[in-house]
Structure 1
Amino acid sequence: MKRSIYRIRLRDDVQRTPAFWRSVRNPYDVHGMVWRIFSDGSRKDRDFIYRLEMQEASPVIYAVSTAEPVDLDGIWAVESKEYNPVLRTGQRFGFSLRANPIRSKRDEERRQHRHDVVMDAKVLLEQSGCPSDAMPSQEILVQKEGFSWLSSRSEAAGFAVEEGMVRADGYRQHRFKKPKGKHWVSISTIDFTGVLTVTDPERFEQALYAGIGPAKSFGCGLLLIRPV
């Protein structure tokens, strides 16, 4: 199956238009915007992963997709190239990843709940009686819990990471409602950068195409790599 990687940026004349910025106020708005770019109106399943970055105060979308983007609104400049990386065991890549690291737990009634790994670590420390003056800083917790989460996912995704070779930061909490929705949606994200080693080329290729972790509809999971 042919896949391409895209860099899609907002045209300079459009980014000065207030109407555009009013239309993308939260992750659900961005999700709808990206879906519109990659959907021809007939597809029901998402066949792309993406990440939105702000570069010089302008939105840039990086995406991997089997479908070509369609600029229905005439506001995007699209760059693309075929995405078919040649991979081998032991290969090292620099990488960046925005992910939604969560920990699944069951309550007393055996119902499963998803917990943000950073907030979950804070709660566990508080419950253990850790005094406030001994509580690790958020920066330390993000690094520790973020790396632990990524490391736990790496084997299934065909790569390995080493402590000291990965930085986890940029922790953010996003809270929004879907249109006509009654309940708040909460998503936390961490940005990872560093160096990884390929351990299983087939699994790693799948991770590049399908992404890592949950919340892919909201711009999480796209693993971008470069040779080192």
Structure 2
Amino acid sequence: MARRGNSPCARCSRGLGSCVGWPVAAPADPDRPGWQTRPYTPLLDRLSAGGRWSFRLTANPVHTIRRTKDEPRKITAHVTLVHQMGWLLDEQRQQRCGFRILEKPEERRLLPDGTTHKGRPHTGDRYELSVTDTRTLSFAKSRAGEGARRSGPVTVVTVTFDGRLEVTDPHALRRTLTQGIGKARAYGCGLLTLAPLTRDRTPA
């Protein structure tokens, strides 16, 4: 999904990836207040292997843990910057999604690769990737029907990534753009947006 500046956008429901919409200050069409739509297919058709784009992704980076070997695994959110970035930098995830995160040239890297105080590897400032926002959202989830009892609260950790990517598999990336990445998509997570690079500072 393409984006303009920092404006959020949303897909229309008239078909998978058929159009994309942006909120606007003054509605041009009274039948569609507050939104303008554009065809989405031209952007999807422009994707080709080797193409480079700026991107933004708001996702729910999670992993599974268990305290003892007999305990069932539990899905839990990544809460540290190193683990959140590591989730998106995972090579298998990038391959499935049809892109790779670009690396910065040596002269632009401010931090070296290394390990954390717990001995876990981190990538330093190697990649064209940053975390620009992290939020913990909590809300009640009720069952369908009148008078239904409310279940326990739902908590979702969202992380917004900004960076630059290179297309490795156009078909997989089209699927990623139309279907999303990761968990909690029903709660608005996993939406990847693309914008043309204004200036490519990465080495060829």
- 2:57 pairs with one of 97, 100, 105: 97
Question: 78, 82, 91: which one pairs with 1:117?
Answer: 78
Q: Separation in 2 of the partners of 1:173 and 1:157?
A: 25
What CA deviation, in whole Å up to 9, does each residue of 1:47-79 have, x standing for no partner? xxxxxxxx8xxxx7521244289xxxx884221
- Do residues 150 (structure 1) and 88 (structure 2) align? yes
Q: Distance in 1 between matches of 2:49 and 2:59?
A: 24
Following superposition, the deviation at residue 173 of structure 1 comes to 0.9
CA deviation string 1:202-227 (max 9, x = no partner) = 10110000011111111111111011
Distance in structure 1 (CA, Å) of the matches to 2:156 and 2:130: 20
How many matched pairs? 147
User: Quick check: which one's strand share is greater?
Assistant: 1
Structure in which a larger fraction of residues adopt helix:
1
Equivalent position SS for 2:174: helix
Amino acid at match of 2:135: R
What TM-score do the two structures reach when normalised by structure 2?
Answer: 0.64
User: What does the per-residue CA deviation read over 1:93-117, in whole Å, with 9 as the maximum and x for residues that have no partner?
Assistant: 0001100000123453352311111
Q: Compared with structure 1, are the counterparts of its residues 145 and 103 closer, same or farther at alpha carbon in structure 2 (3 Å cutoff)?
A: same
**Seq. identity, %:** 29
Normalising by structure 1, report the TM-score.
Answer: 0.57
Task: Answer yes or no: is the 8 Å Cα contact 1:6–1:64 preserved in 2.
Answer: no
Question: Which one of the candidate residues 48, 58, 69 is aligned to 1:88?
Answer: 48
RMSD across aligned C-alpha pairs, in angstroms?
Answer: 2.6
Q: Unpaired segments of 5 or more residues in structure 2?
A: 16-20, 22-30, 104-125, 143-148, 198-204
Give the conservation status (yes or no) of the 8 Å contact 2:98–2:167: yes
Is residue 164 of structure 2 the alignment partner of residue 164 of structure 1? Answer: no
| Corresponding residue of 1:174 | 137
- C-alpha contact (below 8 Å) 2:131/2:162 kept by paired residues: yes
